[in-house]
Structure 1
Amino acid sequence: MLWLAGVSAGPGTAAAETVTLFAAASTTDAVNDIAEAFAAETGGSIRPVVAASSTLARQIGQGAPADLYLSANVRWMDHLAEQDLIERQSRLTLLSNRLVLAAPGDSDLHVTLSRDVDLAAKLGDGRIAIGDPAHVPAGIYAQQALEALGLWQDLTGKLAQTANVRAALALVERGEALAGIVYATDAAISRRVRVVDIFPAAVTPEISYPLAIVAGRDRPAVRRVFEYLQGEAAAAIFRRHGFTVAPPGS
């Protein structure tokens, strides 16, 4: 189980205690950098456990020892809130993102995303990689955006569905998919893909990343990390990785 990687090392002071952060796969690089910065600045320890937001939410529901949950989708935070599995007063919006169409770096695919484009025809026999729209936030957003453009039905037979957005990115990087729908932040960290086009804001659902303390895990060490994630040092790292940082109190 993924959550086994997040078991705390044991009791300790607020400064030394390991705090387990369950975070959406799309935040992998950012939260790893934040964990390093936090350790260097404070001597404290953040242990990121990254996977699809749905997977992490289900593991929290099964009793996984997460202290904080950073989701790429409001729906999965709502799911935990409905079960009283988060500290409701701690919930806030931390980040936002954009959705892009990406292709392998050496691809000659050129598309302007609109209601007039025949994306299925441009893909030919190729596939388009997306997170599984049944539960992966990036896939849910992708389906909603494609439906808004009137492209979804023509593409359903060309989908390569993956367990999380990073897996979709990997298919594009390896050339196993002619294109993929990923977050702007995912495309930005890969040298093997290029952004073909950004989905128009008018057809893209709001991509928000809520953060909350897991129910029963509120303690000084956790609060310290919770506040650090909202601070300027973490914000600078998130921005460097392409995220938009929400205003304080969002």
Structure 2
Amino acid sequence: MFLRLFNALAGAALSLMFALPVMAGQVTIFAAASLKTALEDMVPQISQATGHEVTLSFAGSSALARQIEYGAPADLYISANPGWMDHLSSKGLIQADTRVDLVANRLALVGREGEVDPVNSLTSDFDIKTRLGEGRLSMALVEAVPAGIYGKAALQSFGWWDDLFPMVAQADNVRAALALVAQGAAPLGIVYESDAMADPRVSVIGVFPPDSHPPIRYPAALTHRAAEGSEDVLDWLRSSEAQALFVAHGFRGVDP
């Protein structure tokens, strides 16, 4: 009698174990701030598809790269430009054979919702100084954070940089730059197109042409200390399901 009961309970336990996803471990993703809304929304799908718990840490790509360099426990790094990924690669801190361009983006000039007059496309004829008035132009750090680097390049391409630099308010990352516009502290800002979609208080005035700045790509790679299961998460982020979710959040696919 006891043996039959034991076998029945053991069988039920095994059935339950195989019916539920096995949480094989925790994977920590260090990701550019512009990915925050998209990745946070994807956490349930990542866990369901891979069986791994995911922890997310967001900041400017430069700050995250420095943290990894100083030993922070990241398993997967997603940068908003290749430069900081190259930096970690040169120090042997990523697994180079796992590196892939995950998504792309566009650079946008934004203002407060209801206070903007959109244009079909931005050109050097756009009167940005009149739009700014006495206000500041919100940007991420122009010498370190990818969004700021791209933004500076675009302004230089239009011949605006020297005149506008004294009017630039620099923020630690692109989401902080977005927040200055959303809160009304700055009338205009330069952020990614996906960021504008993440905050209903902000609208796009116009998108900078792609030839005004380097291509915006988000390289992803496993770090040298990546935990088991990290590759499963990266593989899922490259899947058609994940890519469709990125696009829904305003990102773009990467041209082959």
Q: Give TM-score, length-normalised by structure 1.
A: 0.89
Out of 70, 82, 88, the residue aligned to residue 74 of structure 1 is 82
Give the Å deviation of 1:160: 0.8
Corresponding residue of 1:7: none
Give the Å deviation of 1:105: 0.8
Q: Which runs of 5+ in 2 are unaligned?
A: 1-20
Task: Note if 1:64 corresponds to 2:72.
Answer: yes
Alignment: residue pair count = 235
Contact 2:118 2:204 in 1 (8 A): no
CA distance in 2, matches of 1:118, 1:216: 49
Give the Å deviation of 1:34: 1.8
Contact 1:129 1:168 in 2 (8 A): yes
Q: Which amino acid aligns with 2:183?
A: R
Task: Note if 1:113 corresponds to 2:114.
Answer: no
Corresponding residue of 2:157: 148
Task: Note if 1:86 corresponds to 2:65.
Answer: no
Task: Note if 1:177 corresponds to 2:186.
Answer: yes
Q: Give TM-score, length-normalised by structure 2.
A: 0.87
Secondary structure of 2:229's aligned partner: helix
Corresponding residue of 1:125: 134
Corresponding residue of 2:248: 240
Superposed, 1:1-250 pairs within 5 Å as: 15-109=23-117, 113-217=122-226, 219-246=227-254
Corresponding residue of 2:18: none
Distance 1:216 1:41, change over 3 A: closer
Give the Å deviation of 1:106: 2.6
Contact 2:118 2:205 in 1 (8 A): yes
What is the root-mean-square deviation of aligned Cα atoms in Å? Answer: 1.7
Give the Å deviation of 1:213: 0.6
Give the Å deviation of 1:110: 5.4
Corresponding residue of 1:10: none
Q: Which amino acid aligns with 1:176?
A: A
Q: Which runs of 5+ in 1 are unaligned?
A: 1-12
Q: Which amino acid aligns with 2:27?
A: V
Alpha-carbon displacement from aligned partner over 1:57-85 (angstroms, at most 9, x marks no partner): 00000000100000001100000011111
Distance 1:128 1:156, change over 3 A: same
Of 78-87 and 14-23, more deviation after overlay is shown by: 14-23
Give the Å deviation of 1:15: 3.7
Contact 1:15 1:221 in 2 (8 A): no
